[in-house]
Amino acid sequence: MTDHIQTDTADGVLRLTLARPDKKNALTLAMYQAMAEALDAAETDPAVRAVVLHGEGGSFTAGNDLFDFLNDPPKDASSPVFQFLRAVTGFGKPLLAAVAGPAVGIGTTVLLHCDLAYAAPSAKFRLPFVNLGLVPEAASSLLLPQAVGPKNAAELLLFGDAFSAEEAERMGLINAVVAESELLDFTLVRAQALAAQPPAALRLTKALLRAPQADAVTATIQEEGRHFVERLASPEAQEAFQAFLEKRAPDFSRFS
C-alpha cells in the first residue's frame, strides 16, 4: 500500500481516499496498485457493503502522474493500471464517487464504472487523450457514448475540452450536483443506505444491470489498452508529452 491511498471502513462503507493533494491526487503506479488491492480486499470483506471513492484537498484526481507514467509506462496486463481497471470493472458491490475539483482522464472514465456519482460545482471533467496523442481507456469508447450520447461523446473525446459538473449532470455522467461542503457526507449517506439493503439482492441486481455488456467492456478495455500502449511510443505522443513538460503548445503539423 501507499500513504497516498487511504482506507477507512464504518457503517458498512469503505472510504477509498486519494490522498496526494499537493499533486491534485495525480495517480502513480503505486496508487493504482493500492486501489486495486483495496477493491479486491473489499470484494470479500463482509464488513464492506459499499465503497465511496473520493479525493483529498478539493481535487478528485488530475489523472496520471506524467513523470511516473513516462518513467514506467504500462506494457501489458500486469501493469497496475490494468490491474485497477480489472478490479473496478469487476467489483460486485456498490461503488460511489464524490467528485470535487479536477477529474482528468481516468478521473472521468472511472465514473463510467461507478454505480452512482455525485459532484461539487467545482468539479471540472476532462478527457485529454487525443490531445496527448493517445486513445481513450477504461472502455470509455464504448461506455461514454452510451452514457452521454454519441455526439456528446465525440465532442468530449475528440476535443478534450473541460466540462462542468452542471454539464456532466445534464448529459447523465453524474447523478447530481451537490454543494462542496455537503458532498462527501451526502455520498456517504447514500452509500450507508445501500449498505443497509439486502446484500445478496444488491449484488445480484448490480450484476444483472452490467451483464449485457460485461464481455464487451472487457474486450474494449483490452483493445483500447493495446492501442494505448502503442500510442505511448508514437511520435505524436512524444511531442505532446514534451510540450507539456516544456509548458508550450504542441506542434502536430508535421504529422499526417
For residues 224-247, average pLDDT: 93
Average pLDDT over residues 2-7: 94
Task: Specify the number of domains making up the chain.
Answer: 1
Domain contains 190: no
What's this model's pTM, rounded to 2 decimal places?
0.96
Domain of residue 50, CATH code: 3.90.226.10
Q: Residue 69 has what pLDDT?
A: 84
pLDDT computed for residue 234 by the predictor: 95
96 part of a folded domain: yes
- Is residue 191 in some structural domain? no
Report how far residue 219's alpha carbon sits from residue 152's, in angstroms, rounded to the nearest whole number: 23
Residue 186, in any domain of the structure: no
pLDDT by residue (tens digit) across 182-219?
999 999 999 999 999 999 999 999 999 999 999 999 99
Q: Which domain holds residue 244?
A: 1-180+198-256
Least confident of 19-28, 65-74, 155-164: 65-74
Model confidence at 84, pLDDT cuts 50, 70, 90, reads very high
Asked whether residue 116 is assigned to any structural domain, the reply reads: yes
pLDDT over 70 for what percent of the chain?
100
Beta-carbon contacts of 191 under 8 Å, excluding residues fewer than 6 positions away, are 13, 50, 51, 52, 94, 96
- Strands 13-18, 5-10: pairing is antiparallel
Residue 198's alpha-carbon distances to 44, 91, 123, in angstroms, are 16, 17, 33
In a domain, 192, yes or no: no
Distance between CA atoms of 231 and 129, rounded to whole angstroms?
10
**Tell me, what's the pLDDT at 73?**
85
Q: Is residue 188 part of a domain?
A: no
CA-to-CA separations, 35 to 15, 136, 169, 243, in angstroms, rounded: 11, 21, 26, 30
Whether residue 193 is contained in a domain is answered as no
